[in-house]
């Protein structure tokens, strides 16, 4: 047996450094492989964003009355082709790759355990093949069906098969995270799962259940239809199955950003997380509440009972609860950090935050914009108010201050410390990184303000308005001239932000300037017995010292066992039962969707495919 020594949490910083120094060559090799795999996910994801973000301002110019697409042929034929590429690459490929990287890498590093590298590589490979199929189907202009791919708009089989592969690949991290959690709990029986791993597991369980909707739509309806095996498709069933996935997918984008906000940002800001149990409660509520409410996107659709539309309004508002918990918990965490840095008065703590750190600035600004995104979401989820803004530019305006700002800016901020951490290279320019953050914030704020404003004036979404003759454009949309001008200006500023960010990103990748080891900024929970420390490393079981080949005594490296936390929150204990939470979610999803889908299945509509581009 290896000698063991008990230690208190008081000595955890010493343990962390000791474990790092005592890694075997095999462990170092595994760490290097994990770093390279995470870097592959990061580069692929941001490469997709680079293409999608480059096309995005063309949509902004369109609403400003400037039609740039005739000058881009044959690369881009129409507004709708550009909008499809923009939505798919940004909404699916960018977010999925970054999430599937972080949701494996961070838990593995938090627990000090080696993830299933084979499964992680398969995840990357399957998603990469799906991405290439999607790119082919979109750039050859055979599948300008937008990111929602509503039937009866009909794309090529390559498009639907590509989406299917991306979704299937994105589910594989669930098995990896659950395996990491199970192995850690065998080493630390009786303790709750460390926070990052808990949040990652909750995120992946939510996404696994969410994916059934679009998965069924693709496999049962769209792929056979695109291959010519069936002649028609039911649009209403397709839309309903899509929004089974389409609403919770927003949380698959947001929850990895929440992980950074809760578990990393407090440390980066110089403070602590004020409540570990509240962070767990947030993710548990998102797991349960985000799935049954997708049909609120169908308030104006026929075939759905008004009674259910009223119920969906109430259910949708429940999703605001975890957002409110997040606002108060993170606001207090940042205030604590700001006051430690010398901030005084009501707002002095806010200005005392490390605003010169581009990673912190990006995430704090992302959080601020998400306040407005959440408020707009209340409007979208209210049956009566949605009738005013439905299918107007209000909707993409809301979308861009959730995924386009809260998620994208957070991932950009994470990249500013993660790239040096993974590569050992110094960030090319802190100043230019900070410039890109502020340009993105200002550009997206103007863009979103203009889109919301023009939506209230009735300007439709997904409309190639710049294709109209100028006199017609002025007559129809002249009353929205100012907000549409803001949309175009915001788009141009976002273009500058994109250029600045990628100069830093690519420049860092190829820089020769080395830097000191950049640790992952895991935050420490605060609050005594009400919190559970999330920075409690252990010696991985995989790299525990082994006896010599001749049966001699092991070397002087000791297995470190951290004593169980005697002050485990009762709430954390309850929320530890992820299986129970998942069962509750499954029941709620079935209860929400069976009454909606059953009448549609019994009154099916057969529609032939349309290709209108």
Distance, CA of 138 to CA of 160 (rounded, Å): 11
pLDDT score recorded for residue 34: 83
pLDDT given for residue 529 in this prediction: 39
Taking CA 337 as the corner, what is the angle to CA 333 and CA 343, rounded to the nearest 5 degrees? 125
* Separation between Cα atoms, residue 517 and residue 424, nearest integer Å: 6
CA count, 13 A, side-chain hemisphere, 250: 28
Residue 460 backbone dihedrals phi, psi, to 5 degrees: -75, 150
Q: Which residues, including other chains, have CB under 8 Å from residue 374's CB and lie 6 or more apart? A: 320, 323
pLDDT of residue 30: 56
Return the H-helix or E-strand segment holding 185.
Answer: helix 157-187
Element (H, E) at 4: strand 4-7
Q: Which residues of the chain have pLDDT under 70?
A: 1-32, 527-567
Residue 438 backbone dihedrals phi, psi, to 5 degrees: -70, -35
Range 143-146, long-range pairs (CB < 8 A, 24+ positions): 143/84, 144/78, 144/80, 144/81, 144/83, 144/84, 144/613, 145/84, 146/80, 146/83, 146/84, 146/87, 146/462
Express each pLDDT in 410-438 by its tens digit: 999 999 999 999 999 999 999 999 999 99
Looking up tokens 């797991």, which residue turns up? 287
- Give the pLDDT of residue 19: 36
DSSP calls for 439-482: HHHHHHHHHHHHHHHHHHTTPBSS--GGGS-HHHHHHHHGGGHH
Tell me what pLDDT residue 31 has: 62
> What pLDDT is recorded for position 175?
97
Structural domains in the chain, CATH included, are 35-537+567-602 (1.20.210.10)
The residues with which 559 forms a beta bridge, in sequence order, are 4
| Cα 266 from Cα 339, distance rounded (Å) | 12
Long-range contacts of 509-515 (CB under 8 A, 24+ apart): 509/43, 509/419, 509/423, 509/425, 511/425, 511/426, 511/428, 512/425, 513/425, 513/426, 514/424, 514/425, 514/426, 515/420, 515/424, 515/425, 515/426, 515/427
The pLDDT score that the predictor gives to residue 16 is: 37
In sequence order, what are the residues at sequence separation of 6 or more whose Cβ sits closer than 8 angstroms to the Cβ of residue 198?
A: 181, 192, 280, 283, 575, 576, 578
Please report the pLDDT score of residue 512 as a whole number.
83
- Residues annotated as part of the active site: 247, 251, 398-400, 461-462
Residue that the structure tokens 């980066």 belong to: 268
Cα–Cα dist 552/555, whole Å: 9
Cis peptide preceding 74, ω within 30 of 0: yes
How many residues can be counted in the chain? 613
pLDDT tens digits, one per residue of 182-212: 999 998 888 889 999 999 999 999 999 999 9
Which runs of E-coded beta strand occur in 290-370?
Answer: none
């Amino acid at each position: 047996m290896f000698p063991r020594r008990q230690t208190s949490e008081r000595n955890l910083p010493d343990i962390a450094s000791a474990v790092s120094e005592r890694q075997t060559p095999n462990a170092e090799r595994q760490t290097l492989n994990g770093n390279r795999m995470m870097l592959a996910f990061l580069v692929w994801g941001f490469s997709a964003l680079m293409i999608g973000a480059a096309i995005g301002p063309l949509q902004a110019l369109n609403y400003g009355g400037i039609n740039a697409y005739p000058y881009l042929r044959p690369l881009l034929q129409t507004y709708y082709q550009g909008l499809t590429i923009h939505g798919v690459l940004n909404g699916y490929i960018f977010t999925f790759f970054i999430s599937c990287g972080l949701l494996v890498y961070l838990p593995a590093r938090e627990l000090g355990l080696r993830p299933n590298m084979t499964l992680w590589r398969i995840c990357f490979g399957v998603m990469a093949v799906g991405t290439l199929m999607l790119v082919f189907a979109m750039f050859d202009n055979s599948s300008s069906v937008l990111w929602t791919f509503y039937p009866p708009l009909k794309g090529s089989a390559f498009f639907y098969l590509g989406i299917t592969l991306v979704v299937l690949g994105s589910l594989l991290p669930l098995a990896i995270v659950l395996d990491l959690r199970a192995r850690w709990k065998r080493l630390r029986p009786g303790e709750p799962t460390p926070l990052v791993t808990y949040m990652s597991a909750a995120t992946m369980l939510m996404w696994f259940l969410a994916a059934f909707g679009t998965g069924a739509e693709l496999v049962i309806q769209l792929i056979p239809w695109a291959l010519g095996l069936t002649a028609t498709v039911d649009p209403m069933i397709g839309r309903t199955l899509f929004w089974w996935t389409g609403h919770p997918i927003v949380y698959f984008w947001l929850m990895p950003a929440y992980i950074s906000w809760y578990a990393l940002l407090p440390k980066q800001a110089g403070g602590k997380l004020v409540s570990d149990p509240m962070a767990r409660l947030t993710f548990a509520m998102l797991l349960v509440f985000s799935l049954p409410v997708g049909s609120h996107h169908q308030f104006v659709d026929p075939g759905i009972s008004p009674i259910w539309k009223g119920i969906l309004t109430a259910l949708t508002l429940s999703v605001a609860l975890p957002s409110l918990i997040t606002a108060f918990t993170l606001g207090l965490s940042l205030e604590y950090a700001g006051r430690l840095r010398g901030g005084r008065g009501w707002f002095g703590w806010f200005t005392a935050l490390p605003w010169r750190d581009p990673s912190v600035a990006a995430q704090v600004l992302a959080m601020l914009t998400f306040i407005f995104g959440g408020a707009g979401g209340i409007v979208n989820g209210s049956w009566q108010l949605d009738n005013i803004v439905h299918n107007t530019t209000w909707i993409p305006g809301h979308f861009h201050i959730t995924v386009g700002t809260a998620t994208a800016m957070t991932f950009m901020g994470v990249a500013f410390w993660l790239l040096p951490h993974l590569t050992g290279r110094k960030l090319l320019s802190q100043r230019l990184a900070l410039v890109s953050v502020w340009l993105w914030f200002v550009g997206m704020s103007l863009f979103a303000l203009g889109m919301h404003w023009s939506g209230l004036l009735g300007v439709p979404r997904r409309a190639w308005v710049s294709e109209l003759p100028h006199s017609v454009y002025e007559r129809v949309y002249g009353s929205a001239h100012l907000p549409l001008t803001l949309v175009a200006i915001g788009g141009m500023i976002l273009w500058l932000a994109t250029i600045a960010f990628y100069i830093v990103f690519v420049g860092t990748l190829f820089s020769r300037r080395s830097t000191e080891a950049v640790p992952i900024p895991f935050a420490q929970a605060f609050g005594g017995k009400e919190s559970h420390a999330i920075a409690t490393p252990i010696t991985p079981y995989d790299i525990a010292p082994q006896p010599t080949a001749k049966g001699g005594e092991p070397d002087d490296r000791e297995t470190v066992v951290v004593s169980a936390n005697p002050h485990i929150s009762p709430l954390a204990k309850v929320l530890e039962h992820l299986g129970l939470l998942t069962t509750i979610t499954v029941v709620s999803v079935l209860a929400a969707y069976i009454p909606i889908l059953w009448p549609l299945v019994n009154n099916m509509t057969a529609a032939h495919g349309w290709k209108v581009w």
